[in-house]
Amino acid sequence: MAPPADKFKYALKSNDAWASYKGHQNESFFPTLAKGQAPEILWLGCSDSRCPETTLLGLQPGDVFTHRNIANILSPTDLNFLSVLEYAVVHIKVKHIVLCGHTSCGGCVGALSDSRIGGVLDAWLTPLKAVRAANQKELSAIQDDGERIKRLAELNVKQGVDVLMANYVVREAIEKRGLDVHGVLFNIGSGKIQDLGLGTDGELTQSKDGKISLTDGTEGQGKRESASAPVPEFEIVRGNHAMLVFNNDDTAVLTVR
């Protein structure tokens, strides 16, 4: 079958079919969504079209509050990012913040290059180029281009998690209600998400000059007891359809309820 000539018109028809199917599965799905949102996850990711958070997490509309930009760069002076962060943490009261980088990231490719891209992109990638400069010795020692890009993506996530953990709103929510912060990497080639052991699973330190830094941690390292209520035996993602069921051992299975 030949690909559609007009991708936008095809997308609208696909949306109509999807909406009809979802409504047939669960008549209350869209009316419930229209009443408001209560997502438990704030996803901070890259604008890359290959990294759609709800799809790759196997979740549903209403489950993930999202902010995405080129190369998932978190700047402490970016009002766009800060407004999303504050709304999600203070008003929605999400339980998890997930900062996700990914393999084959075009932003990392640009930051590793010594050539100008042009326009505003050079300015936008400046923080990522700074991460490159701070880790130049390690990155230069990596011979494989793909692995070098992947490593810069990991270092960029670590830098972003540092920004999150130094943010007052985030730190207050961690202390008062057990907010969790996670740094992860999405492998486009496998479709799998790797937990990098950062955030509230990492080791947060503060130097004498007041600088806050975060080191890679193993699962559970440096993790404080949650201030929230005890975790139930399992948590069901909303919907009268196929859904993911999360167990206490951090495994998930796809089931129909």
Which pairing describes strands 180-187 and 192-195: parallel, antiparallel, or unpaired?
A: antiparallel
Say whether 102 is catalytic. yes
Say whether 238 is catalytic. no
Catalytic site residue from 16, 50, 145, 224: 50
Say whether 171 is catalytic. no
Q: Is 105 annotated as a binding residue?
A: yes
Say whether 100 is catalytic. no
Instruction: Give one DSSP letter per residue of 103-172, joined into a string.
Output: TT-HHHHHHH-SS---TTHHHHTHHHHHHHHHTHHHHHT---HHHHHHHHHHHHHHHHHHHHHH-HHHHH
Catalytic site residue from 63, 100, 102, 182: 102
Query: 3-state class of 70 per DSSP?
Result: helix
Q: Is 102 annotated as a binding residue?
A: yes
195 phi and psi, to 5 degrees? -80, 120
Give CA angle at 184 (95, 161), nearest 5°. 70
Nearest 10 degrees: Cα torsion 64, 67, 73, 74? -90
Catalytic site residue from 51, 100, 105, 108: 105
Say whether 108 is catalytic. no
Say how many Å lie between the first and final Cα of the chain, rounded. Answer: 35
Instruction: Outline where the chain has alpha helix (H).
Output: 7-25, 29-34, 53-57, 79-86, 106-112, 121-124, 126-134, 136-140, 145-166, 168-177
- Enzyme catalytic residues: 46, 48, 50, 102, 105
Per the annotation, where are the binding residues for Zn(2+)?
46, 48, 102, 105
Per the annotation, where are the binding residues?
46, 48, 102, 105
